[in-house]
């Protein structure tokens, strides 16, 4: 009984997929960029209607919840970069960025 339990527990621990460190780093990088958009949007809250803020926040939440899956696709950079550009249009993050801190 102990031997079968040992095999089952080893199977369960060995079969878990470990996150790819590169994928995880990419996902975290993009997550930080979306968080920056969220902060800029919060700073400009007075200039937008409550409905617009809610819709953008809902979209940001959805994108961030799917970020790991998006980053695992072959076209991750293109897709996520396009999403960031669309959010930047609303949040105007690039207008708030200090040009001295751009890499």
* Cα–Cα dist 80/73, whole Å: 10
Query: pTM score > 0.75 for this model?
Result: no
Predicted pLDDT of residue 62: 94
- Taken as a whole, the chain contains a residue count of 103
Q: How many CB atoms neighbour CB 17 within 10 A? A: 5
Residue 27 to residues 41, 70, 71, 94, 96: CA-CA distances in angstroms? 21, 8, 6, 20, 23
Domain boundaries, given as residue ranges, for the chain = 23-101
Q: Along the chain (103 residues), what's the average pLDDT of each consecutive run of 10 residues?
A: 47 49 84 90 88 91 92 91 87 56 44
What is the distance between the alpha carbons of residues 36 and 28, in angstroms, rounded to a whole number? Answer: 12
- 10 Å Cβ neighbour count for 23? 13
């Amino acid at each position: 009984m102990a031997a079968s339990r040992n095999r089952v527990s080893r199977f369960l621990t060995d079969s878990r997929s470990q996150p790819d460190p590169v994928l995880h780093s990419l996902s975290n990088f993009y997550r930080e960029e979306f968080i920056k958009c969220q902060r800029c949007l919060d700073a400009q809250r007075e200039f937008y209607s409550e409905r617009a803020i809610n819709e953008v926040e809902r979209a940001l939440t959805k994108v961030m919840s799917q970020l790991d899956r998006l980053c695992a696709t072959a076209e991750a950079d293109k897709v996520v970069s396009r999403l960031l550009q669309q959010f930047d249009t609303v949040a105007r993050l690039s207008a708030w960025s200090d040009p001295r801190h751009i890499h």
